[in-house]
């Protein structure tokens, strides 16, 4: 196989979100009726906020420009907080706004305690945190602990020589071969490229788990760990409620720097995240990572009013991922004198980024998550993010089908994570790789556009990062119509606005009673009104249910909420349904004589009081 194609597959199927496994490779338990889980009495207490919240990801550069320079900013975000409150989301996750050269759009940080000037000032951030809290929502910041920018003062000093005060703040090694000009070992980056990069100043190699301009910090150095934990404390003191931890599973590496073993599989899989004929045994998911997140958890737990939250971007088999949660599924013995072994509060699970639009996929997903993340653990439900194709592209950009994805995501057991614009069905742009700002795309400019479109993941991540579509106004309302500071009439948005913005925008859908926006808003309202949807048990219904209809109930606090989703293009009838209809995705749906007639691609939510016998069956 051509090495370029192998590298392309390994890279594309493993960009930032971790492993991807084709549907043929996925292994699920049998799709049988899943019994409701009876929680121990210790779990009868009210769940913590992060266990039942809904997360909304904001990509600041593309959310709202307030000053007409074409770049979204903090003041723009503040101006849209009322919209987010009205929508009903509860936690806002902000992609990085720290000082940065912006070569990887903020994930290459040059100062963790400063704000990129194009976004605003520290005072702006402090006001943002306060305004979010004033509206009853939480703030989660992206935190990139694994690496910095190569323009960070620490790295600029570190690479100068082997004796400076930051000499061992990054992962440096002597090379192999004549004059040390060969890499220290065979470790590849997470995108399948050479992970080692030579610095002639030191005549040594540094390691970068992602791109060459993002050198990995050395957490075996206590000084590094201490200063980064202080960075975390810095933002917690400013009121941040938690962090989304970027690439947290590659922070600790093998101390002996042994070669990663060869793998016969060129593609990422459950057993081989990263692919490209290498199993990353020594450079990813090292056992010391589990200890590291437990240490980080203790730092975060220093701030307990309110409790703070850690959400990890980790990848691998579910048995591996679960270890990052520490003893989160157990109640620590108060007599246990060992240090707390609690790890991350949540981990992002990416199975649904590559969903199949049918009932069987989601039935198996429920079984899979209940097997690996039983209560009190909570899975996360993610369809899209800033690195991946928008989910609506997999369903022909159909707004009606997108309603069913929303219905599942906001009623199944788990913490839903929405990506900005998902609530109005924003589509993927079609910008070619050769015009990309995304540094990943430069590697694939040779790839024909028709072939690029066939891949399940994005070659050019700009295509999922286009400006938010607010209205039918020029530039979709992303930029102000009246420029408030000086004449910038020639300024354009940093990325082109999608061509469909006049049909798909917030302003238009807010006026439509059965729009996708309306469905999201109603579902988010229902989650707040019905405790069973926040923290109730989940029970698959299969008896008498058509095979292309997904049916489940959530049971908790004296009520049962039943969810019916018809994934087919045909009418389906579901009998023996009890409850009061509280939401439908189609105007002609109703329940009569305990029978629900479901139009093609439709869904319904019903509720009824659940006797104790129903809850414990």
Per-residue 3-state assignment (H helix, E strand, C coil) for 308-328: CEEEECCCCCHHHHHHCCECC
Q: Is residue 345 part of a domain?
A: yes
Q: Is residue 284 part of a domain?
A: no
Do residues 56 and 418 touch, judged by C-beta distance below 8 A? Answer: yes
d(CA 449, CA 432): 7
Same structural domain, 545 and 415: no
**Domain final position from 510, 542, 573:** 510
Contacts of 23 (CB under 8 A, 6+ apart): 354, 356, 361
Q: How many domains does the chain fold into?
A: 2
| For residues 171-197, average pLDDT | 95
Domain interval for residue 579: 533-616
With respect to residue 495, please indicate whether it lies within any of the assigned structural domains. Answer: yes
Predicted confidence band of residue 401 (pLDDT cuts 50, 70, 90): very high
Q: Are strands 138-143 and 602-609 parallel, antiparallel or unpaired?
A: unpaired
pLDDT in the model for residue 87: 98
CA-wise closest residue to 526 among 582, 478, 445:
582
Residue 328 reports pLDDT greater than 90:
no
State the Cα torsion 193-194-195-196 to the nearest 10°. Answer: -160
Question: Is residue 266 a part of any domain in this protein?
Answer: no
Higher pLDDT, 597 or 42: 597
Helix orientation angle between 287-300 and 222-237, rounded to the nearest 10 degrees: 40
Which residue, 244, 245, 142, 248, is CA-closest to 190? 248
- Cβ distance 510 to 482 under 8 Å? no
Query: What is the pLDDT, as a whole number, of residue 180?
Result: 95
How far is it, in rounded angstroms, from Cα 57 to Cα 426? 14
| 462 and 586 together in one domain | no
Residue 488 and residue 541 share a domain: no
Q: What is the pLDDT of residues 191-237, one digit of tens each?
A: 888 999 999 999 999 999 999 999 999 999 999 999 999 999 999 99
Q: How confident is the model over 174-193, as a mean pLDDT?
A: 94
Residue 35 belongs to some domain of the structure: no
- 598 and 475, same structural domain? no
Pairing of strands 591-592, 55-58: unpaired
- Whole-prediction pTM value? 0.91
**pLDDT category of residue 457 using cuts at 50, 70 and 90:** confident
Domain with 588 in it: what CATH number? 2.60.40.1180
Q: What is the pLDDT of residue 22?
A: 33
Spatial separation of the C-alpha atoms in residues 165 and 48, rounded to whole Å: 43
What are the residue numbers of the active site?
A: 246, 302
Residue 606: its H or E element:
strand 602-609
Let me know how many helices (H) and strands (E) the chain has, helices first: 16, 21
Both tokens assigned to 334? 């108060």
- Verify that 429 and 364 share a domain, yes or no: yes
Check pLDDT > 80 for residue 12.
no
Query: 74: domain CATH number?
Result: 3.20.20.80
* Integer Cα distance of 606 and 582 in angstroms: 5
Between CA 99 and CA 507 the distance in angstroms is 33
Which pair of structure tokens corresponds to residue 594? 């305990």
The C-alpha atoms of residue 326 and residue 321 are separated, in whole angstroms, by: 10
Element spanning 417, H or E: strand 415-419
Q: What is the mean pLDDT of residues 326-338?
A: 52
- Is pLDDT of 446 > 80? no
Contact in structure between 347 and 249 (CB atoms under 8 Å): no
Which of 413, 415, 414, 391 has its CA nearest to residue 403?
391
Q: pLDDT tens digits, residue range 99-122?
A: 999 999 999 999 999 999 999 999
322 CB-near residues (< 8 Å, 6+ apart): 372, 373, 377
Query: What are 46's two structure tokens?
Result: 């009210």
């Amino acid at each position: 196989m051509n090495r370029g194609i192998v590298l392309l597959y390994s890279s594309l199927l493993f960009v930032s979100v971790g492993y991807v496994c084709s549907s043929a490779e996925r292994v699920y338990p049998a799709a049988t009726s899943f019994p409701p889980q009876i929680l121990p009495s210790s779990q009868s207490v009210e769940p913590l906020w992060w266990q039942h919240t809904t997360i909304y990801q904001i990509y600041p550069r593309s959310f709202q420009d307030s000053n007409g320079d074409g770049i979204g900013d903090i003041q723009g975000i503040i101006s849209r907080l009322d919209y987010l409150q009205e929508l009903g989301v509860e936690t806002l996750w902000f992609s990085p706004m720290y000082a940065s050269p912006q070569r990887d759009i903020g994930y290459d940080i040059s100062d963790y305690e400063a704000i990129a000037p194009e976004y605003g000032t520290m005072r702006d951030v402090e006001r943002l945190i306060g305004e979010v809290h004033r509206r009853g929502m939480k703030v989660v910041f992206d935190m990139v602990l694994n690496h910095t920018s190569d323009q960070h003062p620490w790295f600029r000093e570190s690479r100068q020589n082997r004796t400076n005060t930051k000499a061992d703040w990054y992962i440096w090694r002597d090379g192999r071969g004549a004059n040390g000009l060969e890499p220290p070992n065979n470790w590849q980056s997470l995108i399948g490229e050479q992970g080692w990069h030579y610095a002639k100043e030191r005549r040594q190699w540094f390691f970068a788990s992602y791109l060459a301009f993002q050198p990995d910090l050395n957490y075996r150095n206590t000084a590094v760990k201490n200063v980064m934990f202080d960075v975390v404390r810095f933002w917690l003191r400013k009121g941040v409620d938690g962090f989304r931890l970027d690439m947290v599973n590659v922070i600790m590496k093998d101390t002996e720097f042994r070669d990663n073993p060869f793998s016969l599989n060129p593609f990422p899989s459950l057993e081989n995240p990263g692919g490209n004929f290498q199993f990353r045994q020594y450079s990813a998911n090292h056992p010391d990572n589990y200890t590291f997140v437990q240490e980080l958890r203790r730092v975060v737990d220093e701030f307990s009013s309110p409790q703070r939250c850690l959400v990890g971007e980790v990848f691998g088999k579910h048995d591996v991922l679960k270890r990052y949660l520490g003893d989160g599924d157990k109640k620590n013995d108060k007599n246990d004198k060992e240090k707390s072994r609690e790890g991350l509060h949540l981990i992002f699970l990416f199975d649904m980024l590559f969903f199949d639009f049918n009932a069987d996929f989601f039935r198996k997903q429920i079984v899979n998550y209940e097997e690996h993340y039983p209560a009190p653990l909570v899975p996360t439900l993610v369809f899209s993010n800033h690195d991946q194709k928008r989910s609506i592209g997999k369903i022909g950009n159909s707004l009606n089908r997108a309603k069913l994805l929303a219905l599942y995501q906001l009623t199944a057991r788990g913490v839903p994570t929405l990506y900005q614009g998902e609530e109005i069905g924003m589509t993927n742009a079609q910008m070619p790789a050769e015009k990309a700002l995304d540094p990943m795309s430069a590697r694939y400019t040779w790839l024909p556009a028709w072939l690029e479109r066939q891949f399940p993941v994005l070659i050019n991540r700009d295509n999922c990062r286009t400006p938010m579509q607010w209205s039918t106004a020029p530039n979709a309302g992303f930029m102000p119509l009246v420029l408030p500071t000086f004449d910038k009439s020639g300024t354009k948005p940093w990325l082109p606005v999608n061509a469909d913005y006049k049909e798909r925008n917030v302003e238009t859908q807010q006026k439509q009673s059965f729009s996708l926006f309306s469905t999201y808003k109603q579902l988010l309202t229902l989650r707040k009104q019905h405790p069973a949807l926040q923290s109730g048990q989940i029970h698959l219904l299969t008896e008498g249910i058509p095979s292309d209809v997904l049916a489940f109930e959530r049971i908790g606090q004296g009520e049962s909420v039943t969810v019916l989703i018809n994934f087919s293009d045909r009418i389906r009838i579901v009998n023996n349904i009890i409850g009061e209809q509280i939401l439908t995705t189609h105007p002609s749906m109703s329940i009569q004589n305990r029978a629900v007639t479901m139009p093609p691609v439709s869904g319904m939510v019903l509720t009824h009081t659940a006797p104790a016998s129903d809850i414990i069956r």
